[in-house]
Structure 1
Amino acid sequence: MTTPSRKPTKAELAAAVTKTVPDLLAPDLRVLFCGINPGLYTSAVGHHFARPGNRFWPALHGAGFTPRLFSPWDEHELLPLGYGITNMVERTTAAAAELTAAEYVEGGQRLRRVVAQYRPRVVAFMGIGAYRTAFGRPKATLGLQPDALGDTALWTLPSPSGLNANHQLGDLIALLRELRLWVEASF
């Protein structure tokens, strides 16, 4: 697992609010993981799900998506495995609670364009609330959704943020494993 040489400074974290994190995309991905939006730490270092305590990388490995525990600095190793990463909202915030419903809806429109261009088989939303707001599905539950974006299936999961106390690492691993097994059986 690759790790950064140092943590960002307070000044770098403060300046990160003006940055975005580039999407990790390729045509015909098996799964496109869609985060809510980049946090300050993630934008400061320029890698997805980078804040210490975020459970995305351990959950991804625990569910069998990666052959070893990746770090955010290994994110490009996902592409050869058929996986990519984007965010619902590109704007960096200290907390997702700072986002407006309009930003989620706009992010959903952007995601539709990304899906039309890159044609992933599944978009896995790493934050069910973002999906509910962006796509006007307030009663959506975790898992496979009845809607699709063209031929792209939609799957919702809890946010892997360490701030999400509703789902522990074991829960995330089990839910991601369910997604992986469904993808393997379906495609």
Structure 2
Amino acid sequence: MTRFTRAELEAARDRLVPDVVADGLHVLFCGINPGLMTAATGHHFARPGNRFWPVLHRSGFTPRLLQPSEQGELLSYGLGITNVVARASARADELTTEEYREGGRSLTRRVTRLRPRWLAVVGVTAYRVAFDDRHAKIGPQNRTIGGTRVWVLPNPSGLNAHWTAETMAEEYARLRAAAEATS
């Protein structure tokens, strides 16, 4: 993993990171917004303490542990990555409520265009704000976007201590099973 100086990471603030998407995915994973490490590398979930890639593998979505630099391989498994808010920041709490809400509107347009079977938002708080759904919980949602079903997953950030990698992988595996059942 490349080491970045504090100045290099700060220079990545507000950068946009391209989505990893295609039409008709099985699951489109949606992060909150890119962190500075993600923006500096151009690879989603790139921060070393982020558990997205290990959990994705442990849950059975990928046959091996992918590195963030291998994110393009997700498309071959019918998976993709986007974000609620496009701009990079050091922490999600730097985002405004309006950014989340506009991100939810933008995400709805993207999902309508791409038509994935499932949209998986990784972070219940971000989902609640972006979609104005204060009572959302982890798991499948009643909301659909066109024909796309929605599932809220725990945030894989290392800061989310309420979920272990194992319990997170169990929840991700529930989504995988649902996605396979609708294939």
Query: Normalization by structure 2: what TM-score?
Result: 0.98
Aligned to 1:68, what secondary structure does the other structure show?
coil
Residue correspondences, number: 183
Q: Which residue of 2 aligns with 1:41?
A: 37
Q: Which residue of 1 aligns with 2:131?
A: 135
Q: Which residue of 1 aligns with 2:116?
A: 120
Q: Which residue of 1 aligns with 2:88?
A: 92
Deviation at 1:41, TM superposition (A): 0.9
1:62 equivalenced with 2:53 (yes/no): no
RMSD: 0.8
Deviation at 1:18, TM superposition (A): 3.1
Aligned amino acid, residue 35 of structure 1: G
Q: Which residue of 1 aligns with 2:27?
A: 31
Aligned to 1:44, what secondary structure does the other structure show?
helix
Q: Which residue of 1 aligns with 2:75?
A: 79
1:106 equivalenced with 2:102 (yes/no): yes
Query: What's the CA shift string for 1:11-33, capped at 9, x where partnerless?
Result: 21010103111001100000000
Q: Which runs of 5+ in 2 are unaligned?
A: none
- 1:18, 1:59 → 2: CA distance? 27
Aligned amino acid, residue 168 of structure 1: T
1:179 equivalenced with 2:180 (yes/no): no
Q: Identity percentage over the alignment?
A: 52
Q: Which runs of 5+ in 1 are unaligned?
A: none
Aligned amino acid, residue 133 of structure 1: V
Aligned amino acid, residue 49 of structure 1: F
Query: What's the CA shift string for 1:113-156, capped at 9, x where partnerless?
Result: 11111111100001111111111111111111011001000000
Q: Which residue of 2 aligns with 1:164?
A: 160
Aligned amino acid, residue 10 of structure 1: R
1:12 equivalenced with 2:11 (yes/no): no
- 2:4, 2:15 → 1: CA distance? 14
The farther-off stretch of 29-38 and 162-171 is 162-171
1:149 equivalenced with 2:145 (yes/no): yes
Deviation at 1:83, TM superposition (A): 0.3
Determine if contact 1:124/1:154 at 8 Å carries over to the other structure: yes
Query: What's the CA shift string for 1:89-129, capped at 9, x where partnerless?
Result: 01111100111111110000110111111111100001111
Runs ≥4 in structure 1, deviation > 6 angstroms? none
Aligned amino acid, residue 127 of structure 2: Y
Determine if contact 2:14/2:89 at 8 Å carries over to the other structure: no
Query: Normalization by structure 1: what TM-score?
Result: 0.96
